[in-house]
Amino acid sequence: MARLAKTIGLALALLLTLVPVAAEAKVRLFFWSRDSGKYFPHAFVTLKGTLDATGAPVDTSYGFTLNSVSPIALFAAVPAHVDITSKQYMRPSTAQFELEISDAQYQAIVDQAADWNDARWSLNKRNCVHFVAEVARRAGLTVVEDRKLMKKPRSFTLSLIPLNPGRVTVIGLTGEQLWAKDPSAENHNVPEKTKGSVLENEIRGLPAEDAR
């Protein structure tokens, strides 16, 4: 009898090893910056993964940018929108770090994108860096808005890393490098190129860390 029970136990253990285990649902939040080159500097985020509650896929990007280039933007608030950052813009941009977020944190970021979509862009009070700072807060990160950094996408994004030890994973790779190393991080449900976006207009003579 004991031998039979042992045999059944071994058989059940073998069966369990053959049953596929569902992948753990998680949403990864990536913080990016782009500071130099022929396009506008910018800070933005991407999200990739699966919601825990529903299993729904998550695959998008968010950034806040002005609708058009105008000298007025240097002195006054101008129309703006939440931009779905394109893959063309992501490839040479740098993914600085990532973290995993909960379903509730993901929804808070989606709500932020909706709330900011018709907001006005202000160089000193409401630019892409301010948008990313709020995303970080909604993701549960510690954020310090140092005025010296709020027009500097790369410097501000990097400043979040030492403020959140053990909570973020440092990456420091371009989009092209990251996707080659970790294909699961690549966004597919975003446009290859966004026609008419100021981010994809070639700009000459722009200071390296002006925020857009």
Note whether residue 16 is domain-resident. no
Note whether residue 119 is domain-resident. yes
* pLDDT attached to residue 121: 83
The full DSSP string for 100-111 is EE-HHHHHHHHH
Note whether residue 19 is domain-resident. no
Note whether residue 208 is domain-resident. no
* pLDDT attached to residue 12: 43
Element (H, E) at 158: helix 153-163
Note whether residue 65 is domain-resident. yes
Confidence bin at 35 (pLDDT 50/70/90): confident
Note whether residue 157 is domain-resident. yes
Reply yes or no on whether the pLDDT at 124 is more than 80.
Answer: yes
Which residues is 47 bridged to in the sheet? 29, 60
Q: What whole-number percentage of the chain has pLDDT above 90?
A: 63
Nearest CA to 200 out of 208, 192, 209 is that of 192
Domain that holds residue 161: 26-200
* pLDDT attached to residue 18: 41
* pLDDT attached to residue 39: 66
* Amino acid code (one letter) for 104: A
Note whether residue 184 is domain-resident. yes
For the whole model, what pTM was predicted?
0.83
Reply yes or no on whether the pLDDT at 109 is more than 80.
Answer: yes
Token pair recorded at residue 161: 């890393």
Reply yes or no on whether the pLDDT at 15 is more than 50.
Answer: no
* pLDDT attached to residue 102: 98
Interatomic CA distance for residues 27 and 106, integer angstroms: 8
- Mean pLDDT, all residues of the chain: 84
Over residues 154-208, the pLDDT tens digits come to 999 999 999 999 999 999 999 999 999 999 999 999 999 877 566 766 655 444 4
The full DSSP string for 26-85 is -EEEEEEEE-SSSS--EEEEEEEEE-TTT--EEEEEEEEEESS--GGGGTS-EEEEEE--
Mean pLDDT of 43-59: 97
Reply yes or no on whether the pLDDT at 49 is more than 60.
Answer: yes
* pLDDT attached to residue 74: 73
Token pair recorded at residue 133: 């700072």
* pLDDT attached to residue 73: 66
Q: Considering just the CA atoms, what is the radius of gyration of the chain in Å?
A: 21
Please count the structural domains in the chain: 1
Note whether residue 5 is domain-resident. no
Confidence bin at 98 (pLDDT 50/70/90): very high
